Amino acid sequence: MVAKMNPDLKKERENASFDPEKITNFLYGGQESVKRKRELESLALNDPDYQHEDLNFMSREQQYETQLKKGILMVTKMKELKITSAQDQLFYTSAVLVSDVHPMSVHTRMFLPTLYGQATEQQKDKWLKLAENYTIIGTYAQTEIGHGTFVRGLETTATYDPKTQEFILNTPTLSASKWWPGGMGKTSNYVVLMAQLYIYGKSYGIHPFMLQIRSLEDHKPLPGVTVGDIGPKFGYDVMDNGFLSLNNVRIPRENMLMKYSRVEPDGTYVRPPSTKLAYGTMVQVRAGIVMFSGMNLAKAVTIATRYSCVRRQSEMKPGHPEPQVLDYVTQQYKLFPYLAAAYAFWLTGQTMMSVYTTSSSQISKGDISVLPELHALSAGLKALSSSMANVGMEECRLACGGHGYSHASGLPRLYTNATPASTAEGEHVVLMLQTARYLMKSYNQSLQGEKLAGSVAYLSGVQLVPAAGRTRNMLDLGALCDAFRHRAARIVGEAAAQLRSEMQGGKDQADAWNASSVDLTKAAMAHSQYFVVKTFAERLTDSRLDSSISAVLTRLCQLHALHGLVTNSGDFLEDGYLTGSDIRQARRHINALMAKLRPDAVALVDAFDFPDGILNSILGRYDGNVYQHLLEWAKASPLNKTDVHQSYHKYLKPFLEANRAKL
Amino acid sequence: MATTVNPDLRKERENASFVPEKITNFLYGGPERVQKKRELASLALNDPDYHHEDLNFMSREQQYETCLKKSLLMTTKIKQLKIDAVDEHFYRSAVTGPSPDPLGLHVGMFLPTLYGQATQEQKEKWLNLAENYVIIGTYAQTEMGHGTFLRGLETTATFDPKTQEFILNTPTLTASKWWPGGLGKTSNYCVLMAQLYIQGKSYGPHPFMVQIRSLQDHKPLPGVTVGDIGPKFGYDVIDNGFLALRNVRIPRENMLMKHSKVAPDGTYVKPPSSKLAYGTMVFVRATIVNDSAMALSIATTIAIRYSCVRRQSEMKPGHPEPQVLDYVTQQYKLFPYLAAAYAFWLTGQTMMSVYMTSSSRISKGDISVLPELHALSAGLKALSSWVANVGMEECRLACGGHGYSHASGLPRLYANLTPGATYEGENTVMMLQTARYLMKSYNQSLQGEKLAGSVAYLSGVQPVPAAGRTRNMLDLGALCDAFRHRAARLVHEAAMQLRNERQAGKDQPDAWNAASVDLVKAAMAHSQYFVVKNFAERLTDSRLDSSISAVLTRLCQLHALHGLVTNSGDFLEDGYLTGSDIRQARRHINALMAKLRPDAVALVDAFDFPDGILNSILGRYDGNVYQHLLEWAKASPLNKNDVHQSYHKYLKPFLEANRAKL
């Protein structure tokens, strides 16, 4: 029996102004790609071997085991099914894993890429095949218990012993223990270890070493190796993030990954050609996080928007039926800005990826001139997008009321698994300050008459404040981009002035930087927001977009810009660039845009094209049959195995009986 | 062997400008209260019977069992130890920490409902049983399809005059009761909120006493389907439940009839006032303001102590890595929430004392203060729980990766306290209740009525000061004026917006809906003004000595200035403040943070949370973070064996097969 669609959702879909399929094609880069995505997803979701069990009902240990089993099966099947391209693997794995990870995820995401990127040819011959065939399983061990974002602060040492041609590995203090690497606690038998290289007492900084940590015979930790799981966390329950301490573990000289830096048998150190080469990978990882943030927001708003059409609440007019929650303007104001942000970051992530791809061919030819700008841009965008996603996912959860709090909504798990993006791969503020450093450098260059290019070209001239009384059309995307550009340029200028005045006040460069860092962060944020607004607007000029799509996407872009504008209105008012009446106009436009977007809201989230199996949310079901599935799910919960729980016999019964006897 | 305190934390404490004990006394209402609190906390924390096990290592089912056992023990001990009712919460919070209690609803809702809504005869029948835990109850109001909107409830109680019974039904799927704490597995009774029907006529929701499980074998009674609603973000230890009823009959005397009554012949007697229930609501919302303050004070205690222990990066080449709290950006993450913790702590106290004062008036039948109190408490509940939600997460993120580990205590704190934003009235709905009262008051003032209490200021929106006027942005009076002006202006603008929508042809509900974003903004501004003003007023307490008063004044200034710069547009929009005022405010924030930096640890120490309640390795008083992090991790269930069982089940065959293929 085909389940019937909830009538409210059905009506929403009938009344949309456009065909969501057209936007789906736009978002995934064409019809062919969408078709392939759906094929791979249904292959994964309909494969009975996976037994897609509900992780919410399991202890952490059960979750780890279940997902390890699934990960192993998935790796095997991908080989059998010859799913090889990165894009295909992404579609397939996110359907198998239901948006979660598995204990060997870091093997694919970090261990293999590090071997590809940093091993010499001989080293590749030795290890690549073993790693690609999962004869060895590895992870990437960089973060330590006392050291994170600041890589130069790592304490683990690799001391070269020329007599035996070996490195001696040690975590000399408690705070040097490796801490956090995914899959290291129980699963991996190898790691790439990042350690401070010492030769004849001299330190050469951080280098990668290939290290076996567990026996290939019985999986026991090797001598000198202490390894284990770091304990339960907010999310990532399925992952055995691990700790590792090393006590005089010796590895052959050939285990240092030597594509760039080398240590000769006699202990001679050979420098890498450029220290900036590693930036390329970072840019790619960060662009990936922008995309990931957009997708997570997209999932959260899909769930919250669909549920807000199914849920009816309160009495708007006496005697009338309870309205759909999405008819409340306050509910629209919670969700639609994040719907718009999901589109904004989705498109920004794509743009970043394609800029990276273009420039990586340049880089591989040795031209690294674009790297500093790309690096600065990607840092700010990663920080902006992950923090917006953090706040937005929680806003969506809260917008689902009490039911959002249940694991049945899928929102708590989505949040707890996605929130590390704010602190992992570079902490938010540290990244914003990296962007700010580049902005300050560029701004100073422009003051000295240099012409700036790329994403910072606008810093060359801060626009004049327009004369008072000028009227503006606050819906015009050009005017909105101008406003964001002006704001960014002004705040960059102010941060630079602040920095200068701190130095003039007698502080040294480092203290002045610290004293100005709140303003610097603000500048980097404004710069990144400008880039996102501009990118969104530019993507809409794509001539392949038909008019129905382009109309609704333009509204989203306007909403995204206007919402950013009114929530930061002080930044635009402070120097008189906008007036109080502009801001009031902006607020009225937001209300009007939301009213226009209301009938298209469900179609706009349908266009993200997440199948139920990936959303994994009862509230966000495509068919909207929320309540009966909520009850069925609850009944399957472990506490309901028996009508009377065992704790009654153990604790409640004696307690109640004793109390009764005392009466 | 006494463990030594981390040297960085020790230095922080030596360098503070004041004695934290003095603030502790201020926060808890005097040294006697502090002493009592410490006595009871140590009684609970040092009692070996509790075994204080680590819930983070357990499955949800184990957590429920463990806490149920603990809760029953606590109940027995409170009676044995003869702990005074006013001090009970000190003992309870030490036993459970910031975690909920499986019998929490029995104590927090079931008993108070009997006290407040049962007649004398009903009290005689049930109170003794309930107070002695012969019956365990909960409060069943929320349904699967109906929450904040009480009148929408679908559960019915139909009076049958022939048998003098009510017939209880949850006629649809969405009518099933859903969420009540302790309903799933623990309780054998509940107070059921149901739509009363007499001879086909509906009289609205009323409370009924219903037994749901047998007192002999705890099995659900005939017609009753009851169970747990499944795992949640937090509250793992609580069996929030569902309940479906099918023609369950209860005697007429089981309706709680202190206010409304149904006579044997089916005659309905109205309650004297429908606003009486507001009193309890005000109390519950004041409690949430307190919860929010507690959440923020625990979170900032953890994050600030850890930020002094953690060292990171290189500020100056060749220098040692600085304490993370020396970064101004870290201060900017944490200090505004430290200030907010104090602000809400003091707001919650004020709300409670206003409630106490007015409840004696209310019990004498004078309910004139209720509407204002109700409106104020709704807005403050929403504001404080929103800020706490964001602040707890900001503190977690400020602890970097380790904040994400359950060892930090922050994920569990957040997961357990975030429901404050949606339960007891969803926050946006709360803000709109406040806005409704603001609109009413504003219109009254337009008609020449003089307003009193928290809305008195709406009588006159201050004129925008002439341009060029200089202002001292550190002056608390000037800051309060600015917040008052902003609130008054936004109330006025929301009223204009509402009128415009009406004039454009919308009916009242549609106009209200169309203006609701502005209305929420007005209610928010009103609530923020109240908090800033209350903070400033509490500092005029003559019992505060000068060292304390200096540091608290800085916190109050920071609280106001941070609220001002993060909402700067609201103050700039009509020219009340100028761009140069805002720039001045930013410079003051930097200067205040620099002054607060050496006092930060003392300011969180003053909250006086023992380690047993904080339940955080990062926030330990002695700062010995890393070694305890490692010990904790080693105790984690996955580490029971060096080689996990899953290796033999899954990994070994996989690796061997791969090797064979080479």
Residues of A with CB below 8 A from B239's CB?
639
Do the strands B224-228 and B241-245 form a parallel or antiparallel pair, or are they unpaired? antiparallel
Share of residues in chain A with pLDDT > 70 (%) = 97
Quick check: A469 pLDDT over 60? no
**Average pLDDT score over chain A:** 94
Phi, psi of A242 (to 5 degrees): -125, 170
Report DSSP letters for A36-85, one per residue: HHHHHHHHHHT-GGG----GGGS-HHHHHHHHHHHHHHHHHHHHHTT--S
Instruction: Please tell me the predicted confidence (pLDDT) of residue A1.
Output: 44
Q: Does A425 qualify as catalytic in the annotation? A: yes
Measured CA to CA, the distance from residue A307 to residue A325 in angstroms comes to 9
Q: Is B68 on the interface with A (CB under 8 A)?
A: yes
Least confident range of A290-299, A524-533, B249-258, B369-378: B369-378
| CA torsion through residues A630, A633, A638, A641, sign | positive
pLDDT in tens, A396-422: 999 999 999 999 999 999 999 999 988
User: Is B142 annotated for ligand binding?
Assistant: yes
Select from A396, A659, A663 the residue whose CB has the most chain B CBs within 10 Å, as the one to mutate to test that interface. Answer: A659
Q: Is A116 on the interface with B (CB under 8 A)?
A: no
Active-site residue (options: A65, A394, A425, A427): A425
- Residue B15 identity: N
pLDDT band (50, 70, 90) for residue B468: low
| CA torsion through residues A465, A469, A472, A474, sign | positive
Would you tell me how many other CB atoms lie within 10 Å of the CB of residue B162?
6
Superfamily of domain A7-102: Acyl-CoA dehydrogenase/oxidase, N-terminal domain (1.10.540.10)
Q: Is B134 on the interface with A (CB under 8 A)?
A: yes
CB spacing of B572 vs A575 below 8 angstroms: no
Q: What is the mean predicted confidence (pLDDT) over A508-537?
A: 97
CB spacing of B513 vs A130 below 8 angstroms: no
Measured CA to CA, the distance from residue A83 to residue A75 in angstroms comes to 10
Q: Is B127 on the interface with A (CB under 8 A)?
A: no
Instruction: Please tell me the predicted confidence (pLDDT) of residue A275.
Output: 63
Least confident range of A80-94, A296-310, B594-608: A80-94
Q: Is B631 on the interface with A (CB under 8 A)?
A: no
CB spacing of A186 vs B646 below 8 angstroms: yes
Work out the minimum CA distance from A117 to partner chain B, whole angstroms: 23
Residues of B with CB below 8 A from A229's CB?
633, 636, 638-639
CB spacing of A65 vs B646 below 8 angstroms: yes
Nearest-by-CA chain A residue for B76: A655
Instruction: Please tell me the predicted confidence (pLDDT) of residue A491.
Output: 96
Residues of A with CB below 8 A from B645's CB?
65
Considering only residues B253 and B278, tell me which one the structure prediction assigns the higher pLDDT: B253
CB spacing of A510 vs B316 below 8 angstroms: yes
Long-range contacts of B310-319 (CB under 8 A, 24+ apart): B310/A146, B310/B399, B310/B400, B310/B625, B311/A146, B312/A147, B312/A148, B312/A149, B312/A150, B312/A153, B313/A149, B313/A150, B313/A153, B313/A430, B314/A150, B314/A152, B314/A153, B315/A510, B315/A511, B315/A514, B316/A508, B316/A510
Q: Is A427 on the interface with B (CB under 8 A)?
A: yes
Domain ranges, ordered by start, for chain A? 7-102, 134-272, 282-449+475-604
Measured CA to CA, the distance from residue B616 to residue B595 in angstroms comes to 27
Q: Is A544 on the interface with B (CB under 8 A)?
A: no
Q: Is A656 on the interface with B (CB under 8 A)?
A: yes
User: Could you say which of A148, A153, A186 has the minimum Cβ distance to residue B400?
Assistant: A148
The total number of residues shown for chain B amounts to 662
Chain B stretch 406-425, residues whose beta carbon is closer than 8 A to a beta carbon of chain A? 406-407, 411, 415, 418-419, 421-423
Measured CA to CA, the distance from residue B562 to residue A570 in angstroms comes to 13
Active-site residue (options: B165, B424, B493, B501): B424
Q: What angle do CA B96, B101, B107 make, to 5 degrees?
A: 120
Q: Is A644 on the interface with B (CB under 8 A)?
A: yes
Instruction: Please tell me the predicted confidence (pLDDT) of residue A273.
Output: 74
pLDDT in tens, B324-363: 999 999 999 999 999 999 999 999 999 999 888 888 887 7
Q: Extract the tokens encoding B55.
A: 């819930």
| Count of A-B CB contacts under 8 Å | 384
Q: Is A405 on the interface with B (CB under 8 A)?
A: yes
Select from A66, A137, A234, A411 the residue whose CB has the most chain B CBs within 10 Å, as the one to mutate to test that interface. Answer: A234
Q: Extract the tokens encoding B441.
A: 């008051």
Select from A130, A312, A393, A643 the residue whose CB has the most chain B CBs within 10 Å, as the one to mutate to test that interface. Answer: A643
Measured CA to CA, the distance from residue A85 to residue A453 in angstroms comes to 35
Nearest-by-CA chain B residue for A327: B513
pLDDT in tens, A552-581: 999 999 999 999 999 999 999 999 999 999
Residues of A with CB below 8 A from B400's CB?
148-149, 423, 427
Work out the minimum CA distance from A329 to partner chain B, whole angstroms: 6
| ipTM of the complex, rounded to two decimals | 0.95
Q: Is A281 on the interface with B (CB under 8 A)?
A: no
pLDDT band (50, 70, 90) for residue B157: very high
Q: Is A508 exposed, middle or buried, given 0-12, 13-18 or 19+ CB atoms closer than 10 A?
A: exposed
> Has this prediction a pTM greater than 0.80?
yes
Least confident range of A261-275, A454-468, B116-130: A454-468
Residues of B with CB below 8 A from A72's CB?
650-651, 654
User: Hey, what CATH class is A282-449+475-604 in?
Assistant: mainly alpha
Q: Compute CA distances B166 → A465, B113, B198, B262, whole Å.
A: 73, 19, 9, 10
User: Could you say which of A218, A234, A314 has the minimum Cβ distance to residue B149?
Assistant: A314
Chain B stretch 193-232, residues whose beta carbon is closer than 8 A to a beta carbon of chain A? 215, 217-220, 227-232
CB spacing of B517 vs A218 below 8 angstroms: no
Beta bridge partners of A170: A157
Residues of A with CB below 8 A from B141's CB?
none
Q: What is the mean predicted confidence (pLDDT) over A484-511?
A: 96
Long-range contacts of B480-484 (CB under 8 A, 24+ apart): B480/B529, B480/B532, B480/B533, B480/B536, B480/B560, B482/B564, B482/B571, B482/B576, B482/B577, B483/B525, B483/B528, B483/B529, B483/B532, B483/B533, B483/B560, B483/B563, B483/B564, B484/B457, B484/B529, B484/B533
Measured CA to CA, the distance from residue B558 to residue B540 in angstroms comes to 17
Measured CA to CA, the distance from residue B20 to residue B33 in angstroms comes to 15
Would you tell me how many other CB atoms lie within 10 Å of the CB of residue B600?
22
Q: Is B183 on the interface with A (CB under 8 A)?
A: no
Measured CA to CA, the distance from residue A164 to residue B300 in angstroms comes to 52
CATH code at A134-272: 2.40.110.10
